[in-house]
Structure 1
Amino acid sequence: MKKPLKISLIVVGIAAVIFVGVMLSYRFIKSMDVIENAEINQAATGNHVLLATQGSKFKDSVMDQVKKDMEGKNVHVSIIDTTKLDKVKADDYDKVVLFTTVQSNDIPENVSAFMNANKNKSIHIAVTADSGRWDNKPKDIDAISEAS
């Protein structure tokens, strides 16, 4: 193999490794934390609401405010991480709220799968995005924010 071709292949290889490393680092840095399950007003006799979310500074502060606002109300609120949606039966809840993030230009696959599996259920969705871009946006979105 000729020396210029060998050098070119090495340079392209190094560039590819750097690119993949940067992309994986970006994905890791931007990924959401997994939250602990929580119950608010578990003995309430009113509506039972599922709130599926992810962990981030912004979302954690929103959940803290939700907990304060709902304390003592006649509404049972179950808070879970979106990664656990595959274990949820939407029919067990009067309302379902998904509070998720657009990552890599779409919401997480398991959130989309949950929405598709429960099209007959009234699901309210609030979405946050770093970039403000979301190419595959579903029709019925209740809110979108660029804070994530």
Structure 2
Amino acid sequence: MTRKKKILYVFIGIITLFFLFLVWYKVTYSMDEAASYEINSPTNQTKLLIATQGSEFKNAITENIVNYYKKDSLYIKVIDVSLLDKINANKFNAIFLFHTWENLKPPIEVEKFIESNKALKSKIIIYTTSGNGSYKMENVDALTGESNIEDVKKVSNQIKRKLDDLL
């Protein structure tokens, strides 16, 4: 076998391993789609939008927040972040965006939503999860953390305090 063929085979092997790693990473760490649902009547005067992604941690926090507010005369709409482009932010008193930092950036839908609703930033609360818990979008006031299931109560309370100020 010639030297050029050996180099070519090694190069192809490295590229193959790299793509296998990317597939494994995507399958292991990508978020599930969050189920969409509504609590109480959309005719209620006070409205909360929760845009999230599906994971054990995010589902537990979303459930805590929904359970905390559902007894009030408050309309709650829960959607996956992929549906943000269909939302009229002006119809909500508070918006909670809950997403994971993936591939060194937030989901594009979250970026676009924030960009197109800059005038409403005072009623948008963002919580970004990442591997080390510190990544967030530049020039955006956001809470950050890791997706540690042990922190569900602490993080839920932190978010509820922020939402209480808006609702």
Amino acid at match of 1:147: S
Q: Unpaired runs of 5+ in structure 1?
A: none
Matched, 1:35 2:34: yes
Amino acid at match of 2:69: M
User: Contact 1:99–1:126 at 8 Å: present in 2 too?
Assistant: yes
CA–CA distance in structure 1, aligned partners of residues 4 and 39 of structure 2:
65
The aligned counterpart of 1:5 is 4
| TM-score normalized with structure 1 length | 0.89
| TM-score normalized with structure 2 length | 0.80
Q: Where is the helix percentage greater, Structure 1 or Structure 2?
A: 2
The aligned counterpart of 1:58 is 57
The aligned counterpart of 2:162 is none
Shift of 1:54: 0.3
The aligned counterpart of 2:141 is 141
CA–CA distance in structure 2, aligned partners of residues 14 and 29 of structure 1:
22
Deviations 1:103-125 (A, max 9, x none): 11211111101110111113211
CA–CA distance in structure 2, aligned partners of residues 102 and 70 of structure 1:
27
Identity rate of aligned residues, in percent? 26
Shift of 1:48: 0.7
State the secondary structure of the residue aligned to 1:121.
helix
Number of residue pairs aligned between Structure 1 and Structure 2? 146
State the secondary structure of the residue aligned to 2:118.
coil
Q: 1:94 to 1:133 in 2, by over 3 A?
A: closer
Note the aligned Cα RMSD (angstroms).
Answer: 1.8
CA–CA distance in structure 2, aligned partners of residues 60 and 83 of structure 1:
16
